[in-house]
Amino acid sequence: MTQHPIFQGVATALITPFDAQTGGVDYAAACRLIDWQIECGVNALVIAGTTGEGSTLSDEEHRELLRFSVERVAGRVPVIAGTGSNDTAYAIDLTRYACRVGCDAMLVVTPYYNKATQKGLIRMFTAIADASTKPIILYNVPSRTGVDIKPQTYLALAGHPMIRGIKEANGNISSVVETASLVGDSLDLYSGNDDQIVPILAMGGSGVISVLSNVLPRETAEICSRWFSGDAEGSRALQCRLLPLIQALFCEVNPIPVKAAMAAMGFCEDVLRLPLTPLEPEHRQTLLALLREYKVI
């Protein structure tokens, strides 16, 4: 763990609520979501990431949502802006904007579709970090982007003063172990998969960037707080108890299930942007049953 982590514990990868009538961002619902998350004890919020449907926000919407979120959070927790793109110049421009409006850190995903070699990843992340005045978390999610950041690439990037963390969602624990052995305390390691929070904490991780915490913020935070307080068994037991809901939240492409869950909880309308479509009826039935079981609805 670095000397000054961006956050320790849980950062919610927050959904972006949309208005069913206009199709635009529902800022009243966003206010409720932000305030509730902070009241429930999350340690940071990620805005306009994968779960926040950042890829289908217009540039104007993306920027306004970042500005609005910083204003609403008002310093209560760090605001981490999703500013990655497969267009490096655009990612640089959006990162500079997020810095100007007061975001505390950036989450920068690997390039998708055009992809990259490991050399290309190093050059891209370095260019974005050079342009940033705030720390950057590298986001590795090869199931979505088709490119995987290798452990040696993390090591090559670890010396940059603005590159401070990793959101690792490659699902490969062996790769995570190798990365941890190479980078040590020079980069903070965050789980990008809710079913791997405890395994990554066990490798010296600093927490999780979570989809689950949209629905169960207190419990997700507790997995981390128990671990950091020395209650490894309690942390492990809670991870296992929440596994059925974690699996249900990924029964279809994220954020389809979590949007359905948050709508059922009354926080937003179940509105997604194409190509995402509402949760299939059989999956909805299973998800709602689990939400009742966990006393969420």
Give whole-number Cα distances, 76 to 42, 131, 164, in Å. 10, 26, 21
Element (H, E) at 109: strand 105-109
Among candidate residues 139, 154, 190, 259, the one labeled active-site is 139
Distance CA 27, CA 46 (A): 16
191 dihedral zone (left: phi>0; alpha: psi -120 to 50; beta): beta
Q: What is the DSSP string of 172-192?
A: -HHHHHHHHHHHGGGSEEEES
Q: Which of 154, 167, 190, 259 is catalytic?
A: 167
77: tokens are 């927790």
Q: Using DSSP, state whether 275 is helix, strand or coil.
A: coil
167 is catalytic: yes
Q: Does the annotation count 139 as an active-site position?
A: yes
* Active site residues per annotation: 139, 167
